[in-house]
Amino acid sequence: MKTNRTFYTDSNGRDFIKRIRDNRADRDLKVSQPIVGNYYPINLGIYMEDGNNELSVLVDRAVGGSA
């Protein structure tokens, strides 16, 4: 999948937030630990998509996730 480094995580099970790998909209991010810097809490699910496909992972308990 060509996701352009973009994926979506849930916001406490209510809505989905767009995430971009190695990027923060509110500050200049210098990534020295790429795995830790792109790890988010997941309560409901995470998904990524390109123009033709979507991959969704739904969870039954709180976990951490990244793409």
Tens of pLDDT, residues 7-28 = 999 998 889 999 888 777 766 7
**12 close to 35: Cβ distance less than 8 angstroms:** no
Does the predicted model carry a pTM greater than 0.85? no
Token pair listed for 9: 């995580």
- The residues near 47 (Cβ < 8 Å, ≥ 6 apart) are 7, 8, 16, 54, 55, 56, 57
pLDDT for 29: 65
pLDDT at 5 over 90: no
pLDDT for 11: 92
**1 close to 7: Cβ distance less than 8 angstroms:** no
Contacts 24+ apart (CB under 8 A), 16-25: 16/47, 19/67, 21/66, 21/67
